[in-house]
A and B are shown apart, each in its own frame.
Chain A
């Protein structure tokens, strides 16, 4: 197959779906350890399973975001041909992922939380991202009057590269010798990296809204630009809310606090404006993309409420370091990022159920299993977190292990809900992958 005939966007989406399935399997194994502490302790252990789960989930989001941009550009600028650097970018990702998974299995760690692999595997990721920036810039530099989603995609790509590089400042002892500064930078990076891929995914959501409603309302409005700059402002300065309890400079914590209060509020309004403009026929034709964006909308609402509350230091004192934080992280990763990505997969991979009501009915059941499982998952973590928060602040604390044992019933619910998530997500991933391969959707249509 000639390179320009390859649909690189769909190749990235398919790779992302595979990472999703892997991440779910590792996640379920890791969750088992919460109930049976010595499960697989000698073979692989939590020490490898947690990073395997977290990295796979992050790669689902990052590869998926890349696939969304390539597909979006292919629709926005017709007859975009795949270039060799796009293929090299994908190969570099494969090398990095293979190296990272091997590094975790053989316990060759070295990195920071969420990026625990040997730092050498960061090099192919950085190289892939530089190629992505070159490729994207070459596509957009001739376009005048960018819609907001092109700004958001560029922002996501640029800031991911900047913060990913910043993530490795610890290799210099200058930073490591000063623990508080080092940890401040670590959480500056974590906050901004999430902000970077959120820019890409929210940009994709706006792109899909324009595409489904067949208008340019969402991507061109002044309000959309206002919301974009508010998001960028938060990406740059709100990360201080992660480190209220760290004795870093006070101004960093105050900036994080004040900026966080402006967070997310406007995104929901854009979605609602769009929802009212879409007609029944469009909803029917883009059935699952529409449903997943609506699900993301509801999860934005739930998680936005939680995020704003957690960003208030007086409340953060109770939730910080507890499973409430995990509930928020999982709620946003699964409820918002993954829902937008699944909407994009259904749309870009051209999976349509319009002529097959039976299949639509079956997929609807899976859709609801996914949503209910996520709700139970989120609730179990929040309740466990509140219990831990009470323990953290009690005058007569018992031992940590006893406190953890007292949370066992919530962890069982968390495990069962996680199983529901694995089944439903895997079913969607399997159907999307099978349909793409069957219809040979890895080729460009126009070639």
Chain B
């Protein structure tokens, strides 16, 4: 088979696969546990203060600070601790001066990550095919 044919065939499959992922939000219903619009703004706050440089979500991100996916529902941490830590900083983490609107949006974003699933590897299971399970929506 000519290289050109293989290239175009693979590329077409890739484009279809990509769009099937882009269109996925259309089939997802509204989650009542957080405000989606505010969470989307909070995602921008997360990016504009570069939180990902030190922190992870689902173990993806930086390595200096802890994973924050489920910090909101953690009984020893939660929303109040996030608000205090962001304002006061720690030995490594600088203090950030977020406006009230930005802070509320960031909290809403962290509520959305918390509602999306479980990131603690201790809760994961490996099925018969060797794939990870147990991270699905709570």
Contacts and interface: CB of A to CB of B under 8 A. Distances in A.
A337 interface: no
A419 interface: no
A422 interface: no
Contacts of A225: 3
Given A109-B48, A236-B10, A393-B121, A180 B131 contact: no
B7 to A, nearest CB: 7
Contact of A317 (B10, B47, B118, B126): B126
Contacts, number: 171
B44 interface: yes
A268 B123 CA distance: 38
Given A47-B94, A326-B63, A169 B50 contact: no
B24 to A, nearest CB: 5
Given A46-B53, A245-B121, A245-B135, A181 B28 contact: yes
Nearest to A42: B94
A181 B25 CA distance: 7
A99 B116 CA distance: 35
Given A166-B18, A187-B60, A320-B59, A247 B130 contact: no
A174 B26 CA distance: 9
B119 interface: yes
B18 A46 contact: no
A237 B121 contact: no
Nearest to A247: B117
A313 B50 contact: no
A109 B50 contact: yes
Interface string B46-64: 0111101110111111111
Nearest to B59: A321
Contact of A51 (B48, B50, B56, B91): B50
A179 B131 contact: no
Q: Main SS of the interface on chain A?
A: helix
A361 interface: no
Nearest to B131: A313
B92 A176 contact: no
A244 B131 contact: yes
Contacts of A236: 10, 13-14, 17
A254 B131 contact: yes
A112 B58 contact: no
Contacts of A233: 10
A102 B117 CA distance: 37
A243 B48 CA distance: 23
A198 B59 CA distance: 25
Interface string A30-69: 0001100110011001110011000000000000000000
Contact of B43 (A33, A155, A170): A170
Contacts of B130: 257, 312-314
B60 A395 contact: no
A168 B3 CA distance: 31
A169 B48 contact: no
A243 B60 contact: yes
B73 to A, nearest CB: 15
A71 interface: no
Nearest to A255: B17
B54 A47 contact: yes
A408 to B, nearest CB: 13
A318 B132 CA distance: 11
Contact of B126 (A37, A112, A314, A326): A314
7 contacts: A47-B94, A109-B49, A116-B47, A179-B109, A179-B112, A247-B135, A313-B126
Interface of A: 33-34, 37-38, 41-42, 45-47, 50-51, 107, 109-113, 116, 146, 151, 155, 166, 169-170, 173-185, 187-188, 225, 229, 232-233, 236-237, 242-247, 249-250, 252-254, 257, 312-314, 316-318, 320-321, 323, 326, 392-393, 395, 400-401, 404
Closest A-B pairs by Cβ, 5 of them: A321-B59, A247-B117, A176-B40, A400-B66, A178-B25
Given A173-B40, A245-B132, 4 more contacts: A151-B7, A236-B14, A247-B136, A401-B90
